[in-house]
Chains A and B, each alone.
Chain A
Amino acid sequence: MSAAEARRRPILRMIAGRLGIGVFTLFVISVLIFLAVSLLPGDIAQQVLGQSATPETVAAFRRELGLDQPLAWRYLDWVGGVLSGDFGRSLANGRPVADLLAARLGNTLFLAAYAAVIAVPLAVGLGLLAALWRGSWFDRIANVATLSAISFPEFFIAYILMFWLSVRMGWFPSIADPGASPRLAEMLGRAFLPAITLVLVVTAHMMRMTRAAVVNVLGAPYVTMARLKGVSRWRVVTRHALPNALAPIVNVVALNVAWLITGVVIVEVVFVYPGLGQLMVDSVTNRDIPVVQACALIFAAVYILLNLLADVLAIATNPRLLHPR
């Protein structure tokens, strides 16, 4: 028991330490984003009024939003709000940022989960098979196919899929917006094309990492030993090679899942899917700082937490990593 405890404690200590650093990172990011948005030319008053901005209306707009206050003061005001759980209101439409984000975040997580549930097993499976049958036709075809998919820009894949599966065949809707109160089955059908687009984009990276890691381990003496004992090839891969190769795979999966949450704005636009990415781009265009800040914090938190999770999983599968030499 004491041995197990000793093993768990360093993990807990590491998690606590990483979370602390994570909070500090979030703080630094919030300062950077705030400064960056303030450095952009124009402010929300000019952006919203556009061609119809006049000096008086812009001034009135700024007064109403408190944009005539000094930068540092506005930042402190915002930090104070966040620390007390209030993300403030959108400058553009006066709605609470938390409300704006809630629905969008749900959509984004749904799409990311949908794509990940398909992509991760697919990529790891393909990677394992490719490693198992290294140099075979299967290996080559899987490599070429996934590499081609990742080489095309996402919007191109999206348009091709839309053209064939939606416009030509009529199997799937071309618009992914699920409506105001959708049912799960409808959401799955509507979000299928964007999810598949994302699957095609992320599979190659994870598959190749899986293949490389497993191939690497397959060269180790203990694998040869297992083979000599008469263990089947499949069993060698799944029981001996994969657990030892998991650490790099988990890391790549975590990075890709993080991308699925934070980097899919183009797919959102093409399929008219109301996710966080679109919200953030709109908000940057309008210099809507509270919304940009909140989005940036969520994205940063996603990266920090997923990386932490990946490290914990890697350590769980390979406790040697806890004791770096």
Chain B
Amino acid sequence: MSFNPTGQGLTRRGLLAGAAGMAAAGLILPRGARAQEARRGGRLRIGHLGGATSDTLDPATYAAGPVVTAMLAVCNNLVEIDAKGQAVPELAEFEPDAEARVWTFRLKDGVTFSDGRKLTARDVIASFDHHRGADTKSGAKGSLEQVKEIRADGDNVVVFELTSGNADFAYLTSDYHFVIMPANEDGTLDWQSGLGTGGYVLENFEPGVRITLKRRDDYWKPDRAWFDEAVLLTINDATARQNALMTGEVDVINSPDLATLHLLQRRPGLQLVEVTGTAHYTMPMFCDQAPFTDPNLRLALKYAIDRQEVLDKVLRGHGQIANDSPIAPANRFFAADLPQRAYDPDKAKHYLKQAGMEGLKVEISASDAASVGALDMVQLFQQSAKAAGIDLTVKREPDDGYWSNVWLKKPFCVSYWNGRPTEDDMFSLVYARGAEWNESHWDNERFNELLLKARAELDEGLRAEMYREMQGLVSEDGGTIIPIFVNYIDVANDKVAHGEVASNRFLDGWKIVERWWQA
């Protein structure tokens, strides 16, 4: 075990009082130590990016935005990700069998929905079945394809039988799609009523405007859900979001405008909460389509981008350079010892020559719909590639419909991933042979073989070794340029306090409502 599971190299510029930060790190310390710090009461107001009038409570349609943040306070998952990036039991203790193929989840005692009903295995099964089967419209359908059967064993035990072993299955159940909601009589999911087992009840939901949550007095977790009330306002305009924070209309905002962040930081009474998570920018090339069939050409392009410049100019330093692998320092099995690829026009020329494609002309499709600053990034790429003798033309695509008409359709484009907490999930989703979202059409024999092997392996040391080799393969042979990881940035005022912040999403892993408290 040469890997540090806390994720070395995590940059945390957030202003955490050291002691207060540690004391609140959720499940690590006994309750007494933390209770002095966190206190009950108050109102949390969040200025949230990403709400729309089309938002619904249906977990099949969750993407990001205030609905997900709110519903993670209204509901619980079987498992949650803590500040260290570890999967810890939430609604259920879990246990795999020796092959990691059959997973048993034992529901905790005394958990009730906010209408008083007891949580049972039926509710859990309905919550997962909602994302399975031919008629589901769920974005999480792919993740559950490995599940062969879900069955109840009595009222309190749910057994997941997988098609093959997956040592990370517990992580998967922490996905925000798999919030546990009550089942209807017929076994379908009752998402319409917005009931959950969480610390808050939904009081008012006006899609695209605001969500109001009220604390439940009988919440089963004694050391969570401190605020009496929470209001999530949709503020999609970055300037309006920052003004709302500065004028005290809200306590916390996510995604501040990077261009003016340094000015915001100068204001007293504001704290920056910044974590490097797993989110990354990608530029996939179709490996089965000329000219990208040649690995030398792919390497040439990888050497032709100036990652540091992209980080400095597009993200203004709020991120980290990446090594053409989607596994981030925040992941458990990040291979920190792989050599970092740097901008090297000579090497790019060398590989271009190897490929026999000097003077190459290639077009990349881009739009800011893929990620903030994507167009700026490809323009920088265009300049740096020119020095390497590559004529990169930028095709500017319309924002509207980018994901349906450009991504996965054009042979070379920009894309974005929030990343996944586990290596297996990330690799299976985007880099495995035949995966629905294999955006680069990459198919590497050795990689696919290791993917299956590592998935079923329970020995951490062996897994680390396999994932290291796979990161090397993606980086060297893969069809995706991954220049940067992007930080999750929230800004809060001094009326709210928090413990160590989870790095898997914005707003403390989207669990801010349950985890933070008033200062």
Name A's B-contacting residues (CB within 8 A). 40-42, 45-54, 56-58, 60-61, 63-64, 90, 92-95, 100, 103, 159, 162-163, 166-167, 170, 173-175, 177, 179-180, 269-272, 274, 278-279, 282-283, 285-286, 288, 291
Contacts and interface: CB of A to CB of B under 8 A. Distances in A.
Given A94-B56, A269-B237, A278-B53, A173 B136 contact: no
Contacts of B436: 54
Contacts of A288: 54
Nearest to A59: B137
Interface in B423-476: 436-437
Contacts, number: 136
Contacts of B234: 272
B135 interface: yes
Interface in B64-86: none
A175 B243 CA distance: 8
Contacts of A285: 52, 400
Contact of B233 (A52, A162, A175, A278): A175
Given A41-B400, A170-B247, A180-B212, A52 B139 contact: yes
Contacts of A274: 206, 208-209
Interface string B192-217: 00000000000010111110100000
Nearest to A163: B243
A173 B247 CA distance: 7
A190 to B, nearest CB: 10
Nearest to B210: A177
A282 B404 contact: no
A271 B142 CA distance: 39
Secondary structure at the B interface, as helix, strand, loop or mixed, is loop
Question: Interface residues of A: mostly helix, strand, loop or mixed?
Answer: helix
B52 A282 contact: yes
Contact of B405 (A41, A48, A64): A41
A269 B240 contact: yes
Contacts of A60: 134-137
Interface of B: 52-56, 61, 63, 134-142, 204, 206-210, 212, 233-237, 239-240, 243-244, 246-247, 249-250, 398, 400-401, 403-405, 407, 415-416, 436-437
B453 to A, nearest CB: 26
Nearest to B63: A50
A249 to B, nearest CB: 35
B398 to A, nearest CB: 8
Nearest to B370: A51
B237 A174 contact: no
From A52, A60, A278, residue with most partner B Cβ within 10 Å: A52
A42 B404 contact: yes
Given A42-B400, A50-B403, A54-B436, 6 more contacts: A49-B137, A53-B403, A174-B246, A272-B235, A282-B52, A291-B53
Contacts of A175: 233, 235, 240, 244, 247, 249-250
B267 to A, nearest CB: 10
Contacts of B135: 60, 63-64
Q: Determine which residue in A50, A179, A279, A286 has the highest number of CB atoms from chain B within 10 A of its CB, and name it.
A: A50
A10 to B, nearest CB: 44
A208 to B, nearest CB: 31
6 contacts: A41-B400, A50-B139, A57-B137, A270-B239, A270-B240, A282-B208
Most chain B CB within 10 A, of A63, A174, A179, is at A174
A128 to B, nearest CB: 37
A61 B138 CA distance: 9
Contact of A48 (B54, B212, B398): B54
A282 B56 CA distance: 13
A311 to B, nearest CB: 35
Closest 3 CB pairs of A and B: A92-B54, A52-B139, A46-B404
Nearest to B436: A54
Contacts of B52: 92, 282, 285-286
Contacts of A53: 139, 403-404
Contact of B54 (A163, A173, A271, A283): A283
A14 B404 CA distance: 50
A274 to B, nearest CB: 4
A177 to B, nearest CB: 6
Contact of A47 (B209, B250, B401): B401
A271 B407 CA distance: 33
A187 to B, nearest CB: 14
A57 B136 contact: yes
Nearest to A63: B135
B247 A90 contact: no
A62 B485 CA distance: 35
A92 B53 contact: yes
A40 B56 contact: no
Nearest to B243: A174
Given A42-B401, A51-B403, A282-B54, A93 B207 contact: yes
Contact of A272 (B244, B405, B415): B244
